[in-house]
Chain A
């Protein structure tokens, strides 16, 4: 492969991929399960993310020149390999569809309540398709610019909210035991396990950089997630925080310094939209590239727009309303994610190891 992206670009892409949708939806659900101990759930979930990162680096060491889909075809035979590759890509598609839906619901609830959701979905999907079609290198270069920009603007905004934390909202610790903490870690584990997407980038980065890149991405994401969860529970109290649909937006509405630094929620929403577009573009590229590999299409660009349109359509019909969506993301989604992320990697590693052993 001639295209290479730097470890830094990869880290930015992975952190955006894990964190951006996660921060919009995960903390309230974890807080609902684990209450004020939800930050522990995030730490616990990070171990799963690290395990997935480790397994991805193992696949990378088995075949540094192949993506997950190519590796599956190589070691599992054409049909079974294609089927496993397709399941891998369809899971990523489910991730894309749910994130797109989450984002359009967010836009609809906070800024454009009367705009048809279809229109917002199509606009976002069109931008993501356009960027996805431009290729991984273009997206990675954009990440190098967008990620620090958004981080630099959002970080001080959220640091301010630390002043509103009431420590007594965060105790007593482990009041209901360890089981709720474990249950609360299921959803973030699935989110941190999205580092599995790195398996599609193996040929584009140096193999020895795979594990450190995955570890840093998971570690940084888990840390930010744990801090955000703590701040949310500390500011609003665990009960109220668990009811918030878009906690980051509500938190950004809390900013008020003097009579002039106020109403920064629109700034937060704007920059959040920017980084969500980056994340969706990256995911779109992965899906289109993966489908191209599964169906042996010469150039994935040929299907970029049609894939974008199909994903947009799925996002609209994905759930009839927010209640259905939240029900899915908090119940079925975490288990499906965890099982598939871990299961598919283990299948490939087992098959590839068998092939390596068989070779004289």
Chain B
């Protein structure tokens, strides 16, 4: 098919809706509006947006996509989809139909990201972008930029499929939501925000982790490339440390007849900000390391507790247990979700501060 007969889409949203008492799948797409030869100016002159958001429904996801045919003069070029957003209701009913489709259809790539919308995927895709030309590009930008604070564990489709096919591990991925624009903005709109975690039990969404808990989960997984941690030191001053995980091990044991998990984490960081007159001394570094380790351990504990309350093993403790005790696992396989809430997690974080950007102690104000 020629390029001028196609249109490109980047993000694909799926919801479930009820129409006349029948459950239907609704797909929402953002497609780029082909610009006239004059480029963007042409669109601006004609007063048109550079993108089109359109929806279609069907009894299955594939049928819903096919029903888009009569609504579009151009054929969609699917391999360019880089992100799939699943609506909250659809995720609560189970994501297995979507995962089957992406695993099966040759046009979709397993390296695409998957997000769960707080609310409907359609609303997410219809949001007005703040910086990019389309909400699709905005979502992709948010995903790429998430590493700055590591509060959104965005997963690729193959990783989610892998989690779902494992025994003793429940899938999770990042949450995307809408929030009110800042009050200083002249025309109030809804802005996209990528933080928090959608936690599944099997293939069904059972709840959320807040942004701090999400980072706790990422610490435990050893997947934090960068995280800003403000540490309060005696005297009330704050020092920010930018940290990353350098090592992680998870071991499971039996204690008093019940499984316990031992998580060891090595974290490396550097001072990025000191608020108030402070001399950086070896004693302060030691103090900072201890406090940072405590903060990280608390974040992990908070995430683990919420995960236990939800009855979903996003930490993959069951999988570790399966690998460590393969002969005992058959006894736990079918009742792991009942056992998991009683698992004890022991966390040992070793934080190390190795640098301080370009200066050590604060220059201003002087004591």
List residues of chain A with CB under 8 Å of any chain B CB: 109-110, 166, 168-169, 171-172, 175, 235-240, 243, 250, 253-254, 256, 263
CB-CB under 8 A from A110, the residues of chain B are 106
Is there an interface contact between A175 and B103, defined as CB atoms closer than 8 Å? no
Q: With A110-B106, A239-B166, A240-B161 given, can you name 4 additional A-B contacts, CB distance below 8 Å?
A: A169-B162, A172-B324, A240-B103, A256-B111
Contact for B109 among A109, A166, A253, CB less than 8 A:
A253
Q: Are B106 and A109 in contact (CB under 8 A)?
A: yes
User: With an 8 A cutoff between CB atoms, is B268 at the interface?
Assistant: no
Nearest chain B CB to A181 CB, angstrom units = 14
A168-B323, A254-B158 known; A237+B166 contact, CB < 8 A: yes
B326 engages A240 (CB within 8 Å): no
Contacts A/B (CB < 8 Å), 20 sampled: A110-B106, A168-B316, A168-B319, A169-B162, A172-B326, A175-B326, A235-B162, A236-B161, A236-B162, A237-B162, A237-B165, A237-B166, A238-B165, A240-B158, A240-B161, A240-B162, A253-B110, A253-B111, A254-B110, A256-B111
Q: Closest Cβ of chain B: how far from A178's Cβ, in Å?
A: 14
Give the interface SS of chain B, mostly helix, strand, loop or mixed: helix
B247 at the interface (CB under 8 A from A): no
Q: How far is the CA of A175 from the CA of B111 in the complex (A)?
A: 30
How far does the Cβ of A316 sit from chain B's closest Cβ, in whole Å?
A: 22
Q: Ordered nearest first, which 5 A-B pairs have the shortest CB separation?
A: A239-B165, A172-B326, A237-B162, A175-B326, A171-B323
A239 to B164: give the CA distance in the assembly, Å: 10
Interface residues of B in 144-164 (CB under 8 A from A): 158, 161-162
CB contact list, B289-324 vs A, under 8 A? 316, 319-320, 322-324
For residue B109, which residues in chain A have a CB less than 8 angstroms away from its CB?
Answer: 253, 256
B141 at the interface (CB under 8 A from A): no
Cα distance A235–B109 in the bound complex, in angstroms: 14
B162 touches A166 (CB 8 A): yes
B79/A263 in contact, CB under 8 A: yes
Residues of A contacting B165 in the complex (Cβ-Cβ under 8 angstroms): 237-240
Given the interface contacts A172-B323, A240-B161, does A250 sit within 8 Å of B166 by beta carbon?
no
Q: Give, as a whole number of angstroms, the nearest-CB distance from A17 to chain B.
A: 27
The 8 Å CB contact of B110, one of A166, A243, A250, is: A250
Residues of B within 8 A of A243 (CB): 103
In the assembled complex, the Cα of A172 lies from the Cα of B329 at a distance in Å of 11
A254-B111 contact in complex given A236-B161, A236-B162, C-beta closer than 8 Å: yes
- Chain B residues within 8 Å of A, Cβ to Cβ: 79, 103, 106, 109-111, 158, 161-162, 165-166, 316, 319-320, 322-324, 326
Report the minimal beta-carbon distance from A238 to chain B, rounded to whole angstroms.
Answer: 8
> In the docked arrangement, what's the CA distance between A109 and B105, Å?
9
User: Considering the chains assembled together, what is the distance between the CA atoms of A313 and B164 in angstroms?
Assistant: 42
Given the complex, which residues of A lie within 8 Å of B158, measured CB to CB?
A: 235-236, 240, 254
Determine which residue in A109, A237, A239 has the highest number of CB atoms from chain B within 10 A of its CB, and name it. Answer: A237
User: Is A172 in contact with B161, judged by CB distance below 8 angstroms?
Assistant: no
With most chain B CB atoms within 10 A of its CB, the pick from A171, A238, A240 is A240
B322: nearest residue on chain A (CB-CB)? A172
* Shortest Cβ distance from residue B313 to the other chain A in the assembled complex, whole angstroms: 14
List B contacts of A256 (CB < 8 A): 109, 111
- Chain A residue numbers with a CB within 8 Å of B319 are 168
Tell me the minimal C-beta distance from A279 to chain B in angstroms: 24
In the complex, residue of chain B having the shortest beta-carbon distance to the beta carbon of A173? B326
Residues of A within 8 A of B316 (CB): 168
**Within the assembled complex, what's the spacing in Å between the Cα atoms of A299 and B26?**
64
Q: What residue of chain B has the Cβ atom nearest to residue A243's Cβ?
A: B103
Closest to B80 in A: A263
Question: B111: which A residues are within 8 A, CB to CB?
Answer: 253-254, 256
A175 — nearest CB in chain B belongs to which residue? B326
User: Shortest CB–CB separation between residue A102 and chain B, in angstroms?
Assistant: 16
A176 closest partner in B (C-beta): B326
User: What separation, in Å, do the CA atoms of A238 and B322 have in the docked complex?
Assistant: 14
Residues of B within 8 A of A172 (CB): 322-324, 326
- Shortest CB distance A263–B (Å): 7
A239 and B109 alpha carbons, distance in the complex (Å): 19
- Give CA–CA (A238, B158) in the complex, Å: 13
CA distance A33 to B165 in the complex (A): 16
CB distance from A110 to the nearest CB of B (A): 6
Closest to B325 in A: A172
In whole angstroms, what is the CA distance A169 to B79 when docked? 28
A108 to B166, CA, bound (A): 31
A269 to chain B, nearest CB (A): 11
Q: Chain B residues near A250 (CB, 8 Å)?
A: 110
Contacts of A240 in B (CB 8 A): 103, 158, 161-162, 165
Residues of B within 8 A of A166 (CB): 162
Residues of chain B with a CB closer than 8 A to A238's CB: 165
What is the bound-complex CA distance between A239 and B103, given in angstroms? 13
- B282 to nearest A CB, angstroms? 37
B residues within 8 A CB of A254?
110-111, 158
Chain A residues closer than 8 Å to B326, beta-carbon distance = 172, 175
Across the interface, which residues of B come within 8 angstroms of A168, CB to CB? Answer: 316, 319-320, 323
A95: min CB distance to chain B, Å: 27
Residues of chain B lying within 8 A (CB to CB) of residue A109: 106
Q: Shortest Cβ distance from A218 into chain B, in angstroms?
A: 32
Contact residues in A for B324 (Cβ distance below 8 Å): 172
CA distance A110 to B104 in the complex (A): 11
Give the shortest distance, in Å, between B26 (CB) and chain A (any CB). 26
Chain A residues positioned under 8 Å from B162 (CB to CB): 166, 169, 235-237, 240
**Minimal beta-carbon separation of A245 from chain B (angstroms):** 10
Q: Kindly provide the distance from the CB of A99 to the nearest chain B CB, expressed in whole angstroms.
A: 21
CB proximity of B251 to chain A, nearest CB, Å: 13
Q: Once the chains are docked, how many angstroms separate the CA of A175 from the CA of B322?
A: 10
Query: Chain B residues with Cβ under 8 A from A175's Cβ?
Result: 326
Q: Within the complex, what minimum Cβ distance (angstroms) separates B107 from chain A?
A: 10
Docked Cα-Cα span, A239 to B322, in Å, equals 15
CA distance A166 to B326 in the complex (A): 18
Complex Cα–Cα for A254 and B161 (A): 14
